[in-house]
Amino acid sequence: MPNPGRFVSVLLVFAMLIFPAARVFAQRPAIEAPHGMVVSAHHLASAAGVEILQKGGNAVDAAIATGLALSVVYPWAGPLGGGGFMLVHLADGRQIAIDYRESAPAAATRDMYLAPDGSLIKGAGSSTTGWRASGVPGNVAGFAYALENYGSGKITWAELCEPARRLAREGHRMSQTTALALRNAEPLLGLFDESRSVFLKGGAFYSAGDLWVQSDLGETLARLQRHGPREFYEGETAQFIAAAMQKNGGTITLADLKAYRPVERAPLRGNYRGHEIVTMPPPSSGGIALLQMLGMLEWHDVGSLGHSSAAKYHLFAEVMKRAFRDRAEYIGDPAFVHVPVAQLLAPAYVQNRMADFSPDRATPAAAVQPGLGKYVAAARTESPETTHYSVVDSAGNAVANTYTLNGGFGSGVTIPGTGILMNNEMDDFTSKPGAPNMFGLIQGEANAIAPSKRPLSSMTPTFVFKDGKLLLVTGSPGGPTIINTVLQVVTNVIDFNMPVQRAVEAPRIHHQWLPDVLTFEAYGISADTEAALQARGHLIKERTSYEGATQGDAESIAIDPKTGLRQGAADPRKGDSAAVGF
């Protein structure tokens, strides 16, 4: 019997591709399920997670299976060669943050991306492209740590690898979204023979509906099944990576791989209108900025302003500026620099950040000063090509996971014989302290390159609780827009009482202090609202197709406090996204 839900999904994807701007305003109900729910950027990855839940696995088990499956079906952001952050909520009331961010190799140096004349190296050999652009991958180690410490104990590592191995070895039908993404990435992937072979069909290109078999990646996943996750760091896979790096002038060695370990951290906590917010600590800048912005908004009756009013957008832009100004000044890897977390989140300090706020006039970015005085810790903006997924199981355990290669398709390098696409995470460090980066942000010393250091990030996996019960699991990709996307989803739910699907679909804005520009999604602000914001002194810009006409991809889950139903909200901004439950 045909699956009507799948048929609806196919129609929705078709509509998104034909009318891409309209997807911001798509309206559909959340997918409801009584037991478990997985929401990710690809329906096959969501299905892989649910497969594990149905076998008796918990949310952590399912999150690992989902992440491994994304490494096969979502190549521009989810491959094994990346890293990220996992936020875990356990049904017994504990929350844990697992940092499996990539780290700089031992051979990394502060000035490794500077030419003799002091300028930044461009192209191959830069921090963005080729063999020297990668940090040591953390995905496999992070998933293994989560399984060992917080998995159900009922599902083995080999079982978690199986859905991904199957998708790679047996193949899956390529979606139109993926085929288009691969074709558009030809200028990067075409630079490297292995990537050209694996992802571009040797230059012939894949088309929607083609069966895409990734034999080398399937064999890599089979090795991980047989020998366990340390195989990636100490076994044949590690040998493949190290040998290719050495042959091509890369910096990652066997010793780097063997030494890599994830870090468990205490999540950050805050409150907003009677809700508890649990989010990611440094080296993510997202959690601090999110809690700061919510703290500034607490003193304003946001709901009375109207969701899409000029007054609301003005307030949010001013709040964003101040949080991003502090982000630029104070946040880096806590293993290398002091991050004044308690001071930045102190209620009196946060309230005082809005002391110069005017409801009638925008504060120029140049006039927004850091609240604790000059420090210049770090300012760096990572690429928007990241991915986020959310999981809730029948017992109430939950995972919010955000991970990345950094740029779309990372460094462009695929390790021969493995199918593993590598990250270009070294570009998230400050390559030239004191100089503005490509986004106009001043780059600071505290985010300068150093061996084993983890670069600053905006990734913001987040939980929202009400009366001690989990209400919302959310997060997003999008580089610096991540933080503001999460802010708007959270406030849509709390301030505007939106159902989770509507909260995810609602149009979004973004301001990051510098450049001093308020951006909005295509068709996301009316002409009269735009004029009212300009009258307040804001420089307004519609997001373009080059930078992504839409903002973020907030794959989210809400739990109905009355029925306990898991409500999965797939963000329509991504054509293959899906909520799958049971």
pLDDT tens column, 225-272: 999 999 999 999 999 999 999 999 999 999 999 999 999 999 999 999
Whole-number Cα distances in Å, 78 to 31, 168, 393, 401, 477: 24, 14, 22, 11, 11
47 within some domain: yes
The answer to whether residue 186 is domain-embedded is no
Please state whether 402 falls in left (phi above 0), alpha (psi between -120 and 50) or beta: beta
Mean pLDDT across 447-462: 90
Reply yes or no on whether the pLDDT at 442 is more than 80.
no
Mean pLDDT for all residues in the chain? 91
**Can you say how many angstroms the Cα of residue 64 is from the centroid of all Cα atoms in its chain?**
16
Token pair 């080999």 is at which residue? 158
Residue 100 lies in a domain: yes
Query: C-alpha distances in angstroms, 556 versus 280, 372, 474, 521?
Result: 16, 34, 5, 19
| Residue 93 vs residue 546, higher pLDDT | 93
For the chain, counts of helices (H) and of strands (E): 20, 21
Q: Which of 109-118, 173-182, 358-367, 371-380 has the lowest mean pLDDT?
A: 371-380
**pLDDT, position 438:** 42
Q: Residue 537 and residue 37: Cα distance in Å, rounded?
A: 44
For residue 573, name the pLDDT band (cuts at 50, 70, 90). very high
202 assigned to some structural domain: no
pLDDT at 391 over 60: yes
- Greater confidence (492 vs 431) lies with 492
pLDDT band at 189 (very low <50, low <70, confident <90, very high): very high
* Residue 485 bears catalytic tag: no
Give the mean pLDDT of 120-136. 92
Range of the domain at 538: 1-171+213-582
Cα dihedral across residues 198, 202, 207, 213: positive or negative: negative
In this structure, is residue 194 part of a structural domain?
Answer: no
Predicted pLDDT at 575:
85
Of the residues 386, 402, 462, 481, only one is catalytic, namely 386
Tokens of 400: 């919010």
31 neighbors 501 (Cβ within 8 angstroms): no
DSSP symbols for 145-167: HHHHHHS-SSS-HHHHHHHHHHH
Residue 25 carries which DSSP code? G
Domain membership flag for residue 439: yes
pLDDT of 143 strictly over 80: yes
DSSP labels for 518-560?
EEE-TT-S-HHHHHHHHHTT--EEEPPTTT-SS-----EEEE-
The pLDDT, as a whole number, for residue 544 is 80
Give domain status of residue 416, yes or no: yes
Q: What is the mean pLDDT of residues 473-481?
A: 94
Q: Residue 475: beta bridge partners?
A: none
Q: Half-sphere exposure of residue 337, counting CA atoms within 13 Å on the CB side?
A: 25
Residue 118 exposure: Cα atoms within 13 Å on the Cβ side: 3
Residue 253 CB contacts under 8 Å (≥ 6 apart), including other chains: 105, 106, 107, 242, 245, 246
Residue 225, in any domain of the structure: yes
pLDDT at 28 over 90: no
**pLDDT tier for residue 20 given thresholds of 50, 70 and 90:** very low
Count of domains for the chain = 1
CA pair distance 264, 100, nearest whole angstrom:
9
pLDDT digits (tens, 9 = 90+) for 157-182: 999 999 999 999 999 999 999 999 99
Q: Using CA atoms, how far apart are residues 382 and 81, in angstroms rounded to an integer?
A: 16
Nearest CA among 403, 405, 449, 383 for reference residue 120: 449
pLDDT over 50 (residue 304)? yes
